[in-house]
Amino acid sequence: MDKKFPLTSDIPSPAHICPFDQACSYLDAAGKELRLDQGLLAILSNPRKVVTVSIPVKRDSGEIQVLAGHRVQHCDVLGPYKGGIRFHPAVTLREVSALAMLMTWKCALLGIPYGGGKGGIAINPKNYSAIELERISRRYISELIKDIGPSVDIPAPDMGTSAREMAWMMDTYSVNMGHAVPGVVTGKPLSIGGSLGREMATGRGVMIIVREALKDKGKSLEGIRIAIQGFGNVGGAAAELLHQAGAKIIAVSTGSGGVLAENGLDIQDLKVYQKENNRKISGYPQAKPISNAELLTLPCDVLIPAALENQITDENVDKIQANLIVEAANGPVTLEANLSLEARGVTVLPDILSNAGGVVVSYLEWVQGLSYLFWDEEKVNGEMENLMVKAYRKVVEQSQMRKISPRLAAYVLGVGRVAQAMNDRGLYP
């Protein structure tokens, strides 16, 4: 992994502002490396199905509001579509399309029998009551009844959604089917077929990838200085697990800002503070305040962007001081910034590998639900770790063999497996 090469030389200029263009650029680069047929690339560049539904919802005030709900199904050549549903103001159809494509490569890279899907509604959940969110969730999934199912498309939580929303969606689908269908969604509460280990899964996967990458550099987690942008479900879990393993978490942040402690934060104490202060970490007495922008440029060994996309761009990339960047968020490093980091010898481990822990445990939850045989947390974590380490080792091997960057290696593996399956299945009719 010492040799870094540009992902692609002909980057479309809007890639840094359009997630779908960026996703297609990564696909094209992998296609060139694999020498894929242009017709096959054209198929893979387009989602198989795009659904946009109208969601009328009665607000608590009595007002009727009509929302647009999207579900993009990119490719199911390896198995049912799989991907989260996000409630966020920035949701667009092109963003959802990009994320669905990335899910296809992620599942293929990890060797799990899923294709890629993604859904979303452009709302800020904080502006809606729990009753209103339930109405939105139930109406959204009822409009998608014909397009989802445990062998067709399996939604999961994403930004702005949680086990609560998945429970509503599973119940809505089940009521319409006339019987309980626990396998229609993953990320459910334990009481209705959820899996142990799911809550920490994505963060645990990030921890595993950081640990393995440091191992390749002859280092352990002990004393390693880590900065994490994002302190929610993913970043918070990663911070906790890395801290437990001996790493120094010197800074974390949320949307409203972050905190810095040069000698390392007490993550458990910070989580208690966060819970007591309405999810905010600003004002934490054992640390200095720091902005999100400042966090990204701190001198540290490992930087983990675990918030939103497009955080490391051509505007701040020259200030990045970390030697290892692990993408816990989807697309936090723009294409141009990635090229710049690779040219400097910075190792960037891509999102389709680093944050795959969530979809792996979603798969394990689905398997448990179909078999009605449920595992303890140790077994779930063990199975997830096995798949994550195996995928990481294959990325390293591919990177070294082809003399390409880890990002391109990950895409070559994911895209290659899907392309092989498509060739084997053939084109209908």
User: So which residues are the catalytic ones?
Assistant: 118
Cα 361 to Cα 190: distance, rounded to the nearest angstrom? 13
Both structure tokens of 310: 């497009």
* Helices and strands: H and E segment counts in the chain: 14, 12
For residue 399, what are the contacts with CB-CB under 8 A and spacing of at least 6?
1, 405, 406, 408, 409
CA atoms within 13 A on the CB side of 308: 15
One DSSP character per residue, 101-139 reads HHHHHHHHHHT-S-EEEEEEE---GGGS-HHHHHHHHHH
| Sequence-ordered list of residues with C-beta below 8 angstroms from that of 419, at least 6 positions apart, any chain | 34, 36, 40, 44
Strands 225-229 and 248-254: parallel
Whole-angstrom distance, CA of residue 160 vs CA of residue 69: 14
Query: Is the backbone of residue 89 left (phi > 0), alpha (psi -120 to 50) or beta?
Result: alpha
Cα dihedral: 128, 134, 137, 141 (round 10): -160
Is residue 12 reached through a cis peptide bond, with omega within 30 degrees of 0 on the bond before it? no
The helix (run of H) or strand (run of E) holding residue 275 is helix 267-276
Asked if 314 and 266 count as a contact pair (C-beta separation under 8 A), the reply is no
Tallying the residues shown for the chain, one arrives at 429
Token pair belonging to 391: 């995928």
Which letter does DSSP use for residue 146 in this model? Answer: G
